[in-house]
Amino acid sequence: MNDLALAEPGARRLFDRMRDKRILVVGDVMLDEWVWGSVSRISPEAPVPVVAVSDHSFTLGGAGNVANNLRAIGARVSFAGSVGDDAEGRRVLELLDEIDVERSAVISVGDRPTTRKTRIVAHNQQVVRADWESPAPLERKDRDRLGAFIAARAAQHDAVVLSDYAKGLFARDIVNAASGARIVAADPKPANIDLFAGVTCVAPNAAEAATASGIAIVDDASLERAGAALLERLRCRYVVVTRGERGMALFGADGERMLIPSVARTVYDVSGAGDTVIAVLTLALAADAPIGLAMQLANFAAGAVVEKLGTATASPEEILELVGADDR
């Protein structure tokens, strides 16, 4: 490919172009609940640690974390999805309001709970996680209502992100509703991957790409086969495979291939790194960055967030610091 390597001045100019782009996020929003504390003894009731709680907080998870990442780098964000008619759903709406995300296309559904994941963390290590959720598909009437919202808004945005956590939101008609946007990027779960045929870009991680393609990814040759198989199957413009500590790989419909090494200095927590990648990649494409530069910027953003605990975001300055360090 002819894309130049990303350096700090170029990254700064790209961030300037990305600022204020309008992005519509469609997906499975979650409420991440965090219980923080310390352990000094084992319970007398069972051989489990007793966590003395020191703090308790809530953050946006799932597709909500994609929206949070987009806001952190200056995009104007709208959100479409569903929450339950419950306290957790109302808290999700409050959290979207706090980061100034337009959420009039978030529908309340009375027959299912808001997805909530409670993590108990002691000494910066997760002790246990408890999930409240229903992965059952949305009822047709709710899906039709949501699809109408998406179809009315998609063309008004510079790009759409489809963030799939297999919690029942996505069906082919929801994906079709987003097709009015110039750029549609998806982060799909393997079981649903065929729903996203024809979008601009899909960005699974390596394990998801292996499952979706049926090809075990053990080296560069098998990675090439898996990426090519997904590209042919989905008929999309790009397949981007995120590979954790091994970086990222690009497969393009016009024969483009690129391998980018990881730039993370330390890996503290990979939670939500895929959300960061799809957010930054989509926003850079919306700003007309070549795919190679968009991937590189997303790679630096992922390198910044894995140095933090929990689902996190990275500011442009944090990402630019990592780009600058890599320049030297």
Quick one: which H or E segment has residue 142? helix 140-154
Using CB atoms within 10 Å of the CB of residue 74, give its burial: 0 to 12 exposed, 13 to 18 middle, 19+ buried.
Answer: middle
Pick from 306, 252, 266, 274: nearest CA to 206: 274
Quick one: which H or E segment has residue 128? strand 125-132
Catalytic residues: 275
Which range is least confidently modeled, 59-63, 138-142, 274-278, 311-315? 311-315
- The DSSP bridge partners found for residue 116 are 31, 132
pLDDT at 2 over 60: no
Question: What are 11-27's pLDDT values in tens digits?
Answer: 899 999 999 999 999 99
Question: What are 66-123's pLDDT values in tens digits?
Answer: 999 999 999 999 999 999 999 999 999 999 999 999 999 999 999 899 999 999 999 9
DSSP 263-316: --S--S--TTHHHHHHHHHHHHHHTT--HHHHHHHHHHHHHHHTTSSSS----H
- pTM for the model: 0.93
Pick from 75, 72, 95, 92: nearest CA to 83: 92
Quick one: which H or E segment has residue 93? helix 87-98
Sign of the alpha-carbon torsion through 44, 48, 49, 50: negative
Rounded-to-integer distance, Cα 97 and Cα 262, Å:
34
Rounded-to-integer distance, Cα 30 and Cα 60, Å:
6
Question: What are 210-264's pLDDT values in tens digits?
Answer: 999 999 999 999 999 999 999 999 999 999 999 887 889 999 999 999 999 887 6
Pick from 303, 295, 294, 293: nearest CA to 325: 303
Pick from 66, 165, 68, 67: nearest CA to 114: 165
Rounded-to-integer distance, Cα 53 and Cα 305, Å:
25
